[in-house]
Amino acid sequence: MTRPWISLFLLLGLPSAALAEELNYAFFQADRLEYQAEDNATVWDLQGWYGADLHKFWWKLEGSDAQITNNDVQLLYSRAITPWFDFQAGVLLEIVDSENTAAAIVGLQGMAPYGLELDVATFVTEHGDVGLKAEVERNFYFTQKLVLQPRLEFFDSSAAASELDLGIRLRYEFSRQMAPYLGISWHFSDDSDNDETLLAGLRFWF
């Protein structure tokens, strides 16, 4: 009888012998760890992976303590489909205090032309609601250490109002792995007033 994990490797087109030959690495990044003045809130956008060039396990954690603690957790299988993009599929968990909502999620993450960093995914919740998440970033290097990063984040769901966040962050890279930043962000929503906030944070990876 074929074991389930062997069947999974065959389904993904990866023989178990080839898997054993791959070298696995780990990566962690705090893309945003910041304080937003308008809401007196801490915001976090953390992600990481473990795996090799072709196959990885990704996790992503995004949240805020603006009014109530809200976390979006993604647990994803990721497979490289081009030198620049990965296909990702897995589970999205929305954790609002003690209430949890689960969803199946599929998407693409990678580098588009002109240095655009994209992370786009669609999801279907356990209640049948359909949604879309999209993030776009671009780095402009004024010097080797001073970097301007425009950022756009869009969220749309059949169960909630559409939201759009636009931000500009100016960071100083003491090293490639560590950079404090200042910026400004604008939040637009269908069911609330538009907000503007100053922010300060730290970006790091290892």
The answer to whether residue 6 is domain-embedded is no
Domains in the chain, number? 1
- Report the pLDDT value the prediction gives residue 179, as an integer from 0 to 100: 98
Reported as a single tens digit per residue, the pLDDT across 145-195 is 999 999 999 999 988 889 999 999 999 999 999 999 999 999 999 877 789
Enclosing domain of residue 198: 23-205
Reported as a single tens digit per residue, the pLDDT across 74-113 is 999 999 999 999 999 999 999 988 789 999 999 999 999 9
The answer to whether residue 199 is domain-embedded is yes
The answer to whether residue 40 is domain-embedded is yes
The model's confidence at residue 133, banded by pLDDT at 50, 70 and 90, is: very high
- Report the pLDDT value the prediction gives residue 103, as an integer from 0 to 100: 97
The answer to whether residue 43 is domain-embedded is yes
The answer to whether residue 7 is domain-embedded is no
pLDDT at 4 over 80: no
The answer to whether residue 192 is domain-embedded is yes
DSSP annotation string for the chain: ---HHHHHHHHTT--HHHHHHSPPEEEEEEEEEEEETTTTEEEEEEEEEEE-SSEEEEEEEEEE-SSS-EEEEEEEEEEESSSSEEEEEEEEEEEETTEEEEEEEEEEEEEEGGGEEEEEEEEEETTS-EEEEEEEE--EESSSSEEEEEEEEEEEETTEEEEEEEEEEEEE-SBTTEEEEEEEEEEEETTEEEEEEEEEEEEEE-
* Mean pLDDT of all residues belonging to the chain: 90
The answer to whether residue 15 is domain-embedded is no
Could you tell me the pTM of the whole model?
0.86
Residue 124's CATH number = 2.40.160.40
The answer to whether residue 169 is domain-embedded is yes
